[in-house]
């Protein structure tokens, strides 16, 4: 608390949250689901209007993105988490990580490019090659 200077309280709190989450993941032990719980994943697959093909493609997409995120170096994965998942802007993410704003922008660009490369290789998004 003594290191908090009053600027960017959201970034400060999200840094604490991120570090707490990391610590919990380190000690987390996998546990089986209870009878009344079910593993729904990120998508709601109970929509009757969705075709079986849509469900399979969505599951493949989730798997490829999860693998791509896991394969990213920690410095890139953390930036994706802060900006794309937690919704911080570049300045807040930079403050939370203690790096310049431009570093956040370049790491995010590289991380997104790596994720997109994996999605293109899996045939889940079109290749946007530049002429």
Total domain count for the chain? 1
Query: What pLDDT is recorded for position 90?
Result: 93
Query: What pLDDT is recorded for position 119?
Result: 81
> Which carries the bigger pLDDT value, residue 87 or residue 48?
87
Q: In which domain, by residue range, is 77 found?
A: 54-122
Confidence of residue 1 (pLDDT cuts 50, 70, 90): low
Spatial CB neighbours of 123, under 8 Å, sequence gap ≥ 6? none
Six token digits for residue 48: 């009757």
State the Cα–Cα distance between residues 32 and 68, nearest whole angstrom. 26
Within a domain: 93: yes
Within a domain: 83: yes
Average pLDDT value for residue range 34-57: 55
Residue 42 pLDDT > 50, yes or no? no
Within a domain: 114: yes
Query: What pLDDT is recorded for position 27?
Result: 62
The mean pLDDT of the chain is 75
Within a domain: 77: yes
CATH of the domain at 71: 1.10.10.10
Average pLDDT value for residue range 4-29: 69
Taking every pair of C-alpha atoms in the chain, what is the biggest distance, in angstroms? 55
Within a domain: 29: no
95 class by beta-carbon count within 10 Å (0-12 exposed, 13-18 middle, 19+ buried): buried
5 class by beta-carbon count within 10 Å (0-12 exposed, 13-18 middle, 19+ buried): exposed
């Amino acid at each position: 608390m003594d290191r908090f200077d009053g600027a960017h309280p959201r970034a400060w709190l999200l840094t604490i949250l991120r570090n707490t989450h990391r610590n919990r993941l380190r000690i987390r032990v996998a546990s089986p689901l209870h009878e009344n719980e079910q593993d729904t994943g990120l998508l709601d697959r109970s929509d009757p209007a969705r075709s079986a093909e849509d469900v399979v493609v969505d599951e493949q997409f989730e798997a490829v993105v999860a693998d791509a995120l896991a394969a990213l170096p920690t410095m890139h994965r953390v930036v994706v988490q802060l900006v794309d998942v937690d919704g911080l802007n570049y300045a807040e993410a930079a403050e939370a990580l203690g790096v310049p704003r431009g570093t956040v922008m370049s790491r995010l660009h590289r991380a997104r490019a790596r994720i997109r490369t994996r999605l293109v290789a899996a045939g889940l998004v079109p290749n946007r090659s530049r002429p």
